[in-house]
Structure 1
């Protein structure tokens, strides 16, 4: 008498399903790994290797003419006594605060009415994104014409009786000219992000507050801002990091002048590395800039995430 496979005990039956399931999972994992391999190679070659190289070079004396020589902390000690570095750090701090604060304040002020239902609000949201969509080099070229002696900026201040100003050649105005351009460039992006955040807030909370007699100022300060904390955190972090990495406006409009008044750290880093060929010292400056951005980001996360409602 022969026994069919259906009469076999489950313990004696071959684990076909288990084998096939394990093989399928292995095949899926292998396929996923192969698909992720190009991105992993790109990240390794263009991010990990350059970063590790920069960390190593920051502890060396390297002038592009010969091999790097280990100098330990000499580059970082030199930084402490380098007046040009401290001037660039101060310029970067002023530029960051001067461009980030008005961008977020104006962005929130514009986003509040745009987040409400309206026939033209969709069109207006698209219009405010135009500056953000423009290439940064093209934007810089446009603003170099605006800040020219007979440009639009002097024409506008002339309407209120102010004479022409040397926007890009005066050491007291040049940095603020860059701040104005940067604010105009990034304002639209922040408006769109904040508008999306405002539209995602629960309407029931605002309706309940209005029924309780809360005014617009109280609703904004006690309900809107706390609920919008995560969106504000995101906008603040990308704004600060973007401003601290800013290079193109200062490079194209002022070349860091006049007299270093607009020489932000990325521009000083570039001039040190490729102008004076002190790549080791430039790498040390890059590491300090990276640590500063990470520290500021952590502070912002710590301040704005506290008390968040999930």
Structure 2
């Protein structure tokens, strides 16, 4: 047999492949990889882009993060906001998807109505919620009818964060519902027919057929919802500005404040690197879990 030689990168197939891939690779490098690398570099610098210039400070910015109580309050706010938003953003759409997967009247209209919030701008939604929950707004007007005194929703250190959480749950509801509907329709109907023949009731079918069949979908929805909540910015910017008393300040808004409010780009880049690390951990967990599911 003639000896086989490895293909050269100059052969026709390889050259054609790299020719078609080149625009995507260049765009990925310029707009994704290079900004990430530059962000990591900025995390080790201080100074200004205009007057003093930037200079190397090593781990000083990360040390400042560790010693800054405001940063740890922001981390605590972000964890609270993410966990409190994540569970309802999965449970409520899952329940709606199960109901809307049945043969109901006006099923198509209801699906469209529930999906509508996901296509509305977060800025517009934030302005709408700020109007609803202002002191003289419709929510307090309804509470007055019930004999409940007015609540300063966005000015109270206890109630401000729940209002932002409600907005985030409402915004994510339609997208997750569509994702769960797609997952439900991928489960073979024969499984439910066999379960009915065995005498399984609706709850047993949901627990032993629907949930296991939706496992990859639930993982996907969990990761995308967690990333959505971690990068939340518009609702805080529009509704509370991080107040009152820093109780609604989330990590992305904190980075914005430090970078474009204090012009401390090195410190902001270090905080952004922490956010990037959280996101990469979530993505790694998603890829690893999907890999285990496909085996």
TM-score of the two chains, using structure 1 as the length reference: 0.85
- 141-150 or 116-125, which deviates more: 116-125
Instruction: Measure, in 1, the Cα distance between the counterparts of 2:223 and 2:56.
Output: 35
CA contact (8 A) 1:116 1:199 kept: no
* Higher Cα radius of gyration: 1
Change (3 A) 1:157 1:207: farther
CA shift for structure 1 position 82: 0.5
1:66 to 52, 57, 73: 52
Change (3 A) 1:88 1:226: same
Change (3 A) 1:90 1:67: same
Say yes or no: does 1:147 pair with 2:133. yes
Q: Secondary structure at the match of 1:79?
A: helix
Aligned residues: 286
Change (3 A) 1:153 1:29: farther
CA contact (8 A) 2:82 2:230 kept: yes
Match of 1:169 in 2: 155
Say yes or no: does 1:53 pair with 2:50. no
Say yes or no: does 1:197 pair with 2:183. yes
- 257-266 or 149-158, which deviates more: 149-158
In the alignment, structure 1 segments of 5+ residues that lack a partner are 1-24
Match of 2:25 in 1: 40
| 1:243-270 Cα deviation digits (max 9, x unpaired) | 0010110011100001101100001111
| 1:80-139 Cα deviation digits (max 9, x unpaired) | 111010000000011111111111110111110111233421121111111111111111
Instruction: Measure, in 2, the Cα distance between the counterparts of 1:180 and 1:28.
Output: 53
CA shift for structure 1 position 309: 7.2
CA shift for structure 1 position 228: 0.2
1:230 to 187, 211, 216: 216
Match of 1:10 in 2: none
Match of 2:81 in 1: 95
Q: How does 1:266-281 map to 2 (within 5 A)?
A: 266-281=252-267
Q: How does 1:260-299 map to 2 (within 5 A)?
A: 260-299=246-285
Match of 1:21 in 2: none
Instruction: Measure, in 2, the Cα distance between the counterparts of 1:136 and 1:28.
Output: 46
CA shift for structure 1 position 31: 6.0
- 286-295 or 251-260, which deviates more: 286-295
Change (3 A) 1:207 1:134: same
Instruction: Measure, in 2, the Cα distance between the counterparts of 1:152 and 1:301.
Output: 44
CA contact (8 A) 2:144 2:150 kept: yes
CA contact (8 A) 2:220 2:286 kept: no
In the alignment, structure 2 segments of 5+ residues that lack a partner are 1-9
TM-score of the two chains, using structure 2 as the length reference: 0.89
Q: Secondary structure at the match of 1:62?
A: strand
Q: CA RMSD in A?
A: 2.3
- 158-167 or 144-153, which deviates more: 158-167
Instruction: Measure, in 1, the Cα distance between the counterparts of 2:126 and 2:74.
Output: 20
CA shift for structure 1 position 29: 6.2
Match of 2:119 in 1: 133
CA shift for structure 1 position 57: 0.8
